[in-house]
Amino acid sequence: MQHLDDEKIKFLESTAQQIREDIIAMLLAAGSGHTAGPLGMVDVFTALYFHILRHDSANPQWEDRDRLILSNGHICPVLYATMARAGYFAPDELKTLRKFGSRLQGHPHRMMLAGLETSSGPLGCGTSQAVGMAIAARMDKKKWQVYALLGDGELDAGNNWEAFMLAGKLKLDNLTILIDRNNIQIDGMTEDIMPMEPIRAKFEAFNWHVIDINGHDFYDIINGFAMAKGIYEKPVCIISHNIPGKGIESIEFDFAWHGMPPKDAAQADDFLNQLRTLKGKIKSEHE
């Protein structure tokens, strides 16, 4: 993993800002899609693609690449925007999101876009896929890591827990999952729909090592993943405490925006102005 200094942090923050603006533009063009979750996971995706993951956008099938599984595929606007800024395809293509024939489907389709490891849509499946990949890597004596990203509402799906139990039994220390703990799902707040706390204690009971991070602090995100790589004989669960709709104050923590795009250009412009206000605050903190 590269050295982390103030200049790299500024770069990550600037890149994250661009990705948030990309998400609003592509959702407006699509006229459908999810807003809150993608915005909340921007900092995590930026840290992964621009600092943590071993990957090569010029050679997406590089054998020694780390594998990244997006289980909650509905937040794919953040994945696509990050991949575009990381060089997998031209950013202009982002505005084809959810269009017929587009490589950027409403849920990731592995056969349509190089750099995607799995197709996703049915919630709860990504963990099983990631566990299978981690087992395969161990069998083949490969050094690459497997990372799976899950929504917190997705933990309602029971098949996750079967996979968690197997990973703990097999001591898959080449597997790290990150839970987007933003406390919302499509019908409301997670603790109202299906209370899931204590998450840490549940994973520890399944023989996982658990790390809590602030999902909007690049030092915390990167240190969390660095700690995960140092854990042996246990898989790692990173609980990332995120703000849904991050950067757009008027929709933060509002579950109504789980699956809703900007309604029109005026609203999108308002969202972009709020994001740019956030950018100004971040810039002033560095000066």
Q: What is the pLDDT of residue 5?
A: 86
Contact of 27 with 285, CB cutoff 8 Å: no
Q: What is the pLDDT of residue 121?
A: 80
- Return the domain boundaries, the chain: 6-286
pLDDT in tens, 256-276: 989 899 999 999 999 999 999
Question: Under 8 Å CB-to-CB from 114, ≥6 apart: which residues?
Answer: 60, 61, 88
Element (H, E) at 268: helix 265-286
Q: How far is CA 155 from CA 85, 128, 165, 185, 272, in A?
A: 30, 13, 13, 11, 32
Alpha-carbon gap, residue 109 to 48, rounded angstroms: 20
Q: What is the pLDDT of residue 257?
A: 87
Q: What is the pLDDT of residue 286?
A: 53
Q: What is the pLDDT of residue 46?
A: 98
Residue type, 114: A
As given in the structure block, the two tokens for residue 212 are: 């809590």
Question: Under 8 Å CB-to-CB from 140, ≥6 apart: which residues?
Answer: none
Alpha-carbon gap, residue 90 to 84, rounded angstroms: 6
Phi, psi of 143 (to 5 degrees): -95, -5
Question: Under 8 Å CB-to-CB from 142, ≥6 apart: which residues?
Answer: 64, 136
pLDDT under 70: residue ranges of the chain: 1-2, 279-287
Q: What is the pLDDT of residue 113?
A: 97
pLDDT in tens, 34-86: 999 999 999 999 999 999 999 999 999 999 999 999 999 999 999 999 999 99
Assigned CATH for 6-286: 3.40.50.970
Q: What is the pLDDT of residue 195?
A: 92
- H helix count then E strand count, the chain: 10, 7
Contact of 108 with 77, CB cutoff 8 Å: no
Residue type, 13: E
What is Dmax (Cα atoms) for the chain?
A: 54
